[in-house]
Amino acid sequence: MQPRVGSPELTFHVIGKHPAWDDHMPDQGVANQTVLDFKQRFYVEALAGNINSGSWKHLPEPELIPCFNHRFVHQVADTLLIGGIWSSSDGKGRNLFPLIGIVYSRGLDPQGAFSAAGPILAAFYEKNSGNPTAAGLESAIEEASSALAKRIAVIAPMNQLVSKLSGSQVAGLLKSAPDPRSRARLLYALRRSLLQVKDNLPDRADSFYDLIRLPGVGGGGPGDPSLIQWPMWYLSLVGRTVPMTAVSHQGRPDDRFTDLIAGAIKPASIFPLRASREKIPLCTDIPFDLDDAFIARCEAYLADCLRADQSTAPDLPDEGR
């Protein structure tokens, strides 16, 4: 499956709240319809829907993530948005809405674009935080845009819309689950989600979504490649393009996780941004009724992924029921 013809693009955009403006700031960066559409769905409708309804405000303290400190990717066909979501405020001190930095990538290898975007987003946030003025924001955006312009030439082009991970990469994701039963729960949740997506998309593209809360991999920090690898693996298993969003909560190293959303961005699908593991458990903590034979097949699947000659991950193990 080949991506549509077009020159590769890699640009920087900022939306949300900033102390230099008394309300939502004007969009910063070159106008881009993909980013504008994402802003409408994610920020204007879904994020505002949760804030205005009080759905996060009413969570008891153990179930609430106290602030925005997230990384995300959002992929549709050959376009990829890579971003950071940070708690912020406007000039009047209102702090319900975040600041969101977005790297827009089109026609480029997803893992290459993600690797380039990570340090640039981190540098943008640090520079903007040190000088939270309109001039400071403009300077931080210019610096980020210049850095991206230098990187685009060294990122490989996207050669297919659905890319497969290597067996070792999939094994790295599976090892985020600490034991055989947890890995079986992860693979069972993944199989169940895939069935839902195949049954509902694209017919219910405007309303359907499915969410899996996945454990953090390797500490889950800002440059953690699992944030792009989870949706890439999922898409390879679906076998076609569907809208994918992955959001990683950048909390304590021992309490990081990734929410993988297949389908529509709605208030309900991004409610987990501020909902802790006490409210929404990891898929590896859900006590699915799994027999020993399925758990054994899952361990055999992991072993297959680790084979030295496994250039692409094998098919998922059958549930066998």
Q: How many residues does the chain have?
A: 321
Q: What is the DSSP string of 3-15?
A: PPS---EEEEEEE
pLDDT, mean over the chain: 91
What pLDDT does residue 89 have? Answer: 96
Is the pLDDT at 320 greater than 80? The verdict is no
Q: What is the largest CA-CA distance in the chain?
A: 62
Residue 31 pLDDT exceeds 80? no
Residue-wise pLDDT tens digits, 277-302:
999 999 999 999 999 999 999 999 99
Average pLDDT value for residue range 181-206: 93
Under the banding of pLDDT at 50, 70 and 90, the label for residue 162 is confident
Give mean pLDDT, residues 24-38: 91
Q: What is the pLDDT of residue 220?
A: 55
Query: Does pLDDT of 161 surpass 80?
Result: no
pLDDT mean over 141-168: 89
Q: What is the pLDDT of residue 133?
A: 94
Q: Show the tokens assigned to 129.
A: 């935080």
Residue 311 has pLDDT above 60, yes or no: yes
Spelled out in words, what is the top-level CATH class assigned to the domain 9-154?
alpha beta
Which pLDDT tens digit goes with each residue over 55-101?
Answer: 999 999 999 999 999 999 999 888 999 999 999 999 999 999 999 99
Tell me the three state secondary structure of residue 248: strand
From the CA atom positions of the chain, what is the Rg in Å? 20
Q: What is the pTM of this model?
A: 0.93
**How far is the C-alpha of 128 from the C-alpha of 131, rounded, in Å?**
5
Whether 312 contacts 165, CB under 8 Å: yes
3-state secondary structure of 263: strand
Query: Does residue 3 have a pLDDT over 60?
Result: no
pLDDT of 250 reads 83
Q: Where are the domains of the chain?
A: 9-154, 167-305
The stretches of the chain forming alpha helices (DSSP H) are: 33-38, 48-53, 110-130, 134-151, 167-174, 180-200, 226-238, 267-270, 292-305
Q: Angle at CA 137, nearest 5°, toward 135 and 138?
A: 65
